[in-house]
A and B are shown apart, each in its own frame.
Chain A
Amino acid sequence: MKLAPLALLLVTAAAVAGCLQSDAAIDGRLLFSGRQIEKAGFVIIDGRSHVTFEDRIAHASPGKSGAANLWITDWETGEKCRLVANKSDRWHLDSGKDGLRFAIKNERTTATGAVGTLVRFTMGCEDFEAIEDVSGYGVSNLFDDKTRAIVSTRFYYKTELPGSRLTNLHLRNDAGDERVIEKLSGLVQFTEPDGLYMILGEDRTLVRLAAHDAPIETLRTHVTRMQLRGDEKYAILGVADPGAMGGPVVPKAIVLKLDDKSERPLPGKNPSYWLGFWGAEFAYSEAATGGTGARLHFFNVDTAADRVYVIPAGLADVTAAVPRSSKHAESLLIDSQGRLALFDAAAEPAVRILNLRAYSPSYTPDGKFLLYVKPDTSATELEGELVVQDADFKQPPRVISPVGASVQNGGFFFILGAEPLVFWAHFGRDAANLYYSNHETGAVRRVARGIREVTVTPRRIIGVVRVSEQDLVGDLVQIDAQTLDSTRLARSVSDVSIYGSQIAFIVRGRLSSERDGLWATTLKEIKTDAGN
């Protein structure tokens, strides 16, 4: 009887023995510890690998975007420094000559938007310049044709005008000369080597500078949209002139000859989609209206000759044209509903309607096959089955994605190899599986499950797979594409960046722990094609 309490104790102790422990082992070096790390990327400075990353300090809040600290760390030494503190998410990063980078930090909201401090900084953690109260900026670089190195940089930044939605434009050339242009109201477009187009004032006047210190040349008022021909002789403009006697605004598209500012309207009543300059001709389409088919125009702005092709019933308009290949004269026309037609100006008829709808139709590099995603009308996303079709449309189409899987719009591409088609497909709503396929034979192999961010080569896949839909992290693995042998390098990986055999990855467990942060590891057995 006296042993009874002891028995109770033993029973309890036996059950409690052996509590679970977290497994903290990661094969790699911790470069930076933290839970809010994101956006890892490689930068090569003086031939040495560095990793940039951001350390989030604030999520977006009403009227204000999120903010993060931007860091850089030396791959070899692990030495690190903070490039930008409190960098705003609202504006992107940019690069300029001499390794200078651009970012905006310390965002604050204003009556008309938000402003911050534009910083130009070196990757050596030195602030080159800080400009206060900037509401936006843009950078234009000129590259050396051979080395692709940046040989000159121009940039502009905008500052607010009190009580106005217009801004002042501060234009800085490569020599550091700054020029202020007031009352910017629209686009800013650089042209090489020194030109600049922009829209100014309440009446949205398109102007240009032929050079940094050239006088402002007024081109056209009430401009809403512009497409410039490469030689800068013509521009296609969307304009919205006020109606006569205060009547309603009538939008229209015009061709503006830039040297004498003469203009003529684009032929057609409703030039709805601009397909761009095809040589000397500007291609655009008119939408079908009741009783009238859509029209495809090729307007020669030099001669004013307009080739017009009436699209048979079946296409509402033409939003894009995809050339079959350099060896074929044929192009694929796509309307705003994803319906397709074949176009060959030399053929009769020039336009042949294809009785199908498709997302992201793409020809194989040799032009022999057309691949597209067959829209799933019941899905909320743009997705469906991946279909391969011989480009001559002599054979019936074949579904190449697994039954029940859904390929998202644009969810495939080609690589060089025996299985050149790579696509990813969803079962259900979470992470996708990655497939290699031979589109000619229809052979399909699943090479990775639950991919998040992977680098694909014909021989191997490196990246984050088996991603948890819940945690948005997965296993960092390298997979032999032939044998599908998989080597797990780390768990709970949210982001990865690969340069050659160097891999920087971010670990973010469900709970905060000492494992969270930016890690580095090296794939010694992987050749440099891993970074392709």
Chain B
Amino acid sequence: MRLLLLIAVLRAQAPQVPTAVERAAAEPVPAVDPVPAADPAPAPAAPLPPAPKPRGRMRGLVVAKGVRDALVGVSVAIDAVPAGETDVTGRFDIELDQGGHRLLLQFPGYDPLEVAADVGPDGAAGGVPERTFRLVPRQSGERYESVIIAPDLQAPKTSLRGAEITRTPGSFGDPFRTIESLPGVSQVVWPLSIYAIRGANPGNTGFIVDGVRLPGLFHFALGPSVIHPFFLQQIDFYPGGYPARYGRYISGIVAARTQTPGTDRVHASADARLFDAGGIVAAPWDEGRGAVAVAGRYSYTGLLFSNLQKNADLGYWDYQARAHHTLGPGRVTAFAFGSSDELALNLDDGRQVARSQFHRLDLRWDGVLAGGRVTVAAVGGRDTSAASIKQLNNLPIRAQGWSFAPRAGYLRPLASWLDAEAGVDGEVQWFRPHSDRPDVEQQDLFRQRRVLSGGGYLTMEARAGSRLVVSPGMRVDAFVEKGITKYEPEPRLQVRFRPGGDVWLKATAGRFAQMASLPVSIPGFEGFGLDEFGTQTSLQGSSGVEVGLGEYLSVDATGFFQRLRLTDLRSTFATDITKEDLLEVRDGESYGAELLIRRPSRHRLNGWIAYTLSWSQRLVEGQLVPSDWDQRHILNVVGSYRFDRGWSAGARVHYNTGRPYPVYDQRSTRVDYMRIPDFYQLDLRGDKRFVFDRYVLDVYLELVNTTLTRQIVDIKRTPDGTLDRKGFRIVLPSIGVHAEW
């Protein structure tokens, strides 16, 4: 197993103040029943041996208060003497003298629990009843954090988990929206969740959940991502130079992992927000050999939206279901998820609708075979998109797509200093588009087609002592469409070197390939244009330094360069996807520097400062010019503070300089490029957690853009020569309740 091969680091922090257990270990231990010291005087008579005290048992189950997760490895002390730990089920069973005792339970991240316990005779029938002890999660102060870190030495990434992905101010509690506060990410127009990573197009970034590619990440308008936030455990963000096991995107990768459902009992959570409501239910089955989790969400945005906007209806829903069970030396997992969006406009000439829907079913087996870790999986899916909104598409269009994507991976150590990872993945897609305009069938996007893409990869990871890690990799992707086949070799190299202390120098280089894509991913409209556009490619390089400043801060500074060949929108204003010259192959480059200063979430005051200085350019009409995504400076300061009694507050300050925007003269004969005004915002969030014995309740209020900064989206020159800046000035509130059982 990979986790076993890599250095496992237990980052349980030593408490600043010795715990009772430590004090007990450091000080002389008084005997429970001290034997009197030998009297130097001769004994008048031989003493009788003391009568043995009757023995009894104490049985207990230790769970987290509220969510009732069984806590494994809780330190159990009886009368200040260490007496054992809870087992894998969270239970302990200790034999001790009958009578009164003091029981002390301690576990990192929880307040110690000390209770009096009377131990009586062990009953003949049924034994000693089991008591349940509830440890209160520490809601304030420094948190202990026990994290087994298996550092992925291949690629620089930013990992977010826990509260960072659900409580980051400005993200509406949406894990995927958190990336907009990370270095290298340019948000095209706030608050739309469209992100350009390191100067590439938004459609060049892949979003992957448990190895399954998402055809669309966010619901319409200001909708959340299509995966329930509490279904996710961790998000890894690779702004570039991602590992060879991922492919077919030329920019970054956002890879999310879902939570493994607990196998101890039924867990449930529910949440309600201003815009939607959802929930998760997870239950063990087959005596804990497996578990099933189901999540869903329904939006009543349509109801609210329709009341505010009489001629429009908006709605969405999504679902996720995950089940796993042991099978042989591993585990089989089925993961199904899907999403639906609908926007309807009731116009004078009828009801016009835009609809998007997708479904995925992934079957996966992970296990240990032949000394390595094996993953074999296949995912099938169906996508549908349809739109009859003339202002968007110029004509009614719809598209259906089916896909089947198998994948397999194998990770194995070859020596104590060398690991190897190899795998293959592929995807076959069938598209059935339809339009009411016969001439658009001349375009590949509107032609019925089958697209095959597949790749294989091999990555070696060599470690020279504890100072140097070199990870060369090679990936080859093949793209097949309309009888045309293109092979793309994609070599990768990552080097990390530690000159001393907690300082790592790092560098990555690699080549990446992708089929032509729309600027924003739309289910059913992908896998096209291999003949007309070829493939999109990028040549990426980055280097930087990571410095750990004790347990309190880490600093990561990275410089990057990307040489791009991609399918750009020929015009920013082109919204008609039936236009035959909608896209254009352009060369481009982007470069810049990223800085991330981070204070871990285990501290009362935690968060990060992310700054990006970047240039994004395209070769347009023979001229190297700033791209539509070119934002020179992007700054995010994210901070949260945990107060006592479950209160916490956070804020995010965002600032970005404007991107270029074409401004026409009054006769629309000439265009001048101006920068959209700088944008800044202050987002605030407050949380209060109530911990009850059998459930927890979180209540939060989030206000995004409290500065009421106006987001400019369009600039025009009026007939009198002045500039007319169109935009909006809104505060987005979010009030929610989240409960877990």
Residues of A within 8 A of B (CB): 1, 4-5, 7-8, 11-12, 14-16, 18-25, 38, 59-64, 66, 377-378, 402-404, 427-430, 449-450, 466, 468-473, 491-492, 494, 508-511, 513, 515
Q: Mark B646-676, 1 if CB is under 8 A from A, else 0.
A: 0000000000000000101110111101000
Shortest distance from the beta carbon of A204 to any chain B beta carbon, whole Å: 29
If A428-B578, A471-B621 touch, whether A62 touches B505 (CB-CB below 8 Å) is no
Shortest distance from the beta carbon of B399 to any chain A beta carbon, whole Å: 17
- Rounded to whole angstroms, the CA-CA distance of A404 and B443 in the bound complex is 14
- Contact residues in A for B388 (Cβ distance below 8 Å): none
Q: Which of B438, B581, B665 has the most CB of A within 10 A?
A: B581
Partner of A378, one of B349, B575, B671: B349
- Asked if residues B495 and A7 are in contact (CB atoms below 8 Å), the reply is yes
If A5-B497, A491-B622, A492-B623 touch, whether A12 touches B543 (CB-CB below 8 Å) is yes
- Contact residues in A for B729 (Cβ distance below 8 Å): none
Q: Mark B493-520, 1 if CB is under 8 A from A, else 0.
A: 1010101000001111100000000000
Within 8 A of A (CB), among B550-565: 559, 561, 563
Residues of B within 8 A of A (CB): 349, 390, 394-395, 436-440, 464-465, 467-468, 470, 493, 495, 497, 499, 505-509, 539-543, 559, 561, 563, 570-576, 578-581, 587-589, 591, 617, 619-626, 662, 664-666, 668-671, 673, 717, 719-722
- Asked if residues A492 and B622 are in contact (CB atoms below 8 Å), the reply is yes
- Rounded to whole angstroms, the CA-CA distance of A428 and B440 in the bound complex is 12
Going nearest first, the 10 A-B pairs with the smallest beta carbon separation are A15-B541, A428-B576, A60-B721, A404-B437, A469-B571, A23-B622, A470-B571, A4-B497, A11-B507, A61-B721
- Rounded to whole angstroms, the CA-CA distance of A509 and B509 in the bound complex is 33
If A1-B465, A15-B539, A508-B670 touch, whether A470 touches B507 (CB-CB below 8 Å) is no
- Asked if residues B470 and A20 are in contact (CB atoms below 8 Å), the reply is no
- Asked if residues B581 and A449 are in contact (CB atoms below 8 Å), the reply is yes
- Asked if residues B669 and A509 are in contact (CB atoms below 8 Å), the reply is no
- Rounded to whole angstroms, the CA-CA distance of A4 and B495 in the bound complex is 8
Shortest distance from the beta carbon of B653 to any chain A beta carbon, whole Å: 32
- Asked if residues B623 and A14 are in contact (CB atoms below 8 Å), the reply is no
Closest to B587 in A: A20
- Asked if residues B495 and A511 are in contact (CB atoms below 8 Å), the reply is no
- Rounded to whole angstroms, the CA-CA distance of A510 and B568 in the bound complex is 16
- Contact residues in B for A16 (Cβ distance below 8 Å): 541, 561, 591
- Asked if residues B561 and A470 are in contact (CB atoms below 8 Å), the reply is no
- Rounded to whole angstroms, the CA-CA distance of A402 and B717 in the bound complex is 34
- Rounded to whole angstroms, the CA-CA distance of A403 and B580 in the bound complex is 14
Shortest distance from the beta carbon of A432 to any chain B beta carbon, whole Å: 12
- Rounded to whole angstroms, the CA-CA distance of A411 and B509 in the bound complex is 53
- Asked if residues A12 and B509 are in contact (CB atoms below 8 Å), the reply is yes
- Rounded to whole angstroms, the CA-CA distance of A109 and B660 in the bound complex is 34
If A63-B720, A430-B574, A469-B574 touch, whether A20 touches B623 (CB-CB below 8 Å) is no
- Asked if residues B622 and A61 are in contact (CB atoms below 8 Å), the reply is no
- Asked if residues A8 and B505 are in contact (CB atoms below 8 Å), the reply is yes
- Rounded to whole angstroms, the CA-CA distance of A11 and B349 in the bound complex is 59
- Rounded to whole angstroms, the CA-CA distance of A264 and B67 in the bound complex is 98
Partner of B722, one of A19, A61, A466, A494: A61
- Asked if residues B622 and A11 are in contact (CB atoms below 8 Å), the reply is no
Partner of A38, one of B438, B622, B625, B670: B670
- Rounded to whole angstroms, the CA-CA distance of A471 and B579 in the bound complex is 17
Closest to A509 in B: B623
Could you list 13 A-B pairs, sorted by A, with CB under 8 Å? A11-B493, A11-B495, A12-B559, A15-B561, A16-B541, A16-B561, A61-B722, A427-B576, A430-B579, A470-B671, A471-B662, A511-B625, A515-B623
- Asked if residues B541 and A14 are in contact (CB atoms below 8 Å), the reply is yes
- Rounded to whole angstroms, the CA-CA distance of A494 and B670 in the bound complex is 8
Partner of B507, one of A8, A23, A24: A8
- Rounded to whole angstroms, the CA-CA distance of A429 and B582 in the bound complex is 12
- Asked if residues A60 and B720 are in contact (CB atoms below 8 Å), the reply is yes
Closest to B390 in A: A378
- Asked if residues A471 and B620 are in contact (CB atoms below 8 Å), the reply is yes
- Asked if residues B669 and A472 are in contact (CB atoms below 8 Å), the reply is yes
- Contact residues in A for B395 (Cβ distance below 8 Å): 404
- Asked if residues B722 and A62 are in contact (CB atoms below 8 Å), the reply is yes
- Asked if residues B668 and A469 are in contact (CB atoms below 8 Å), the reply is no
- Asked if residues A428 and B574 are in contact (CB atoms below 8 Å), the reply is yes
- Rounded to whole angstroms, the CA-CA distance of A377 and B347 in the bound complex is 13
If A1-B467, A11-B507, A470-B671 touch, whether A510 touches B437 (CB-CB below 8 Å) is no
- Contact residues in B for A20 (Cβ distance below 8 Å): 563, 587-589, 617, 619, 624
- Contact residues in A for B623 (Cβ distance below 8 Å): 22-23, 492, 509-511, 513, 515
- Contact residues in B for A63 (Cβ distance below 8 Å): 720
Closest to B577 in A: A428
If A8-B507, A402-B439 touch, whether A59 touches B665 (CB-CB below 8 Å) is yes
If A16-B561, A59-B721, A470-B571 touch, whether A509 touches B625 (CB-CB below 8 Å) is yes
Closest to B559 in A: A12
- Rounded to whole angstroms, the CA-CA distance of A12 and B620 in the bound complex is 26
- Asked if residues A472 and B621 are in contact (CB atoms below 8 Å), the reply is no
- Contact residues in B for A511 (Cβ distance below 8 Å): 623-626, 673
Shortest distance from the beta carbon of B438 to any chain A beta carbon, whole Å: 6
Shortest distance from the beta carbon of A407 to any chain B beta carbon, whole Å: 15
Shortest distance from the beta carbon of B152 to any chain A beta carbon, whole Å: 18
- Asked if residues A492 and B495 are in contact (CB atoms below 8 Å), the reply is no
- Asked if residues B438 and A403 are in contact (CB atoms below 8 Å), the reply is yes
Shortest distance from the beta carbon of A350 to any chain B beta carbon, whole Å: 37
- Asked if residues B671 and A59 are in contact (CB atoms below 8 Å), the reply is no
Closest to A426 in B: B394
- Rounded to whole angstroms, the CA-CA distance of A450 and B580 in the bound complex is 11
- Contact residues in A for B539 (Cβ distance below 8 Å): 15
- Asked if residues A11 and B439 are in contact (CB atoms below 8 Å), the reply is no
- Rounded to whole angstroms, the CA-CA distance of A257 and B541 in the bound complex is 87
Partner of B579, one of A427, A466, A470, A515: A427
- Rounded to whole angstroms, the CA-CA distance of A472 and B589 in the bound complex is 24
- Contact residues in A for B470 (Cβ distance below 8 Å): 7
Shortest distance from the beta carbon of A199 to any chain B beta carbon, whole Å: 28
- Asked if residues B468 and A4 are in contact (CB atoms below 8 Å), the reply is yes
If A22-B624, A513-B623 touch, whether A430 touches B722 (CB-CB below 8 Å) is no
- Contact residues in A for B559 (Cβ distance below 8 Å): 12
- Rounded to whole angstroms, the CA-CA distance of A511 and B625 in the bound complex is 6
Closest to A14 in B: B509
- Asked if residues A472 and B622 are in contact (CB atoms below 8 Å), the reply is no
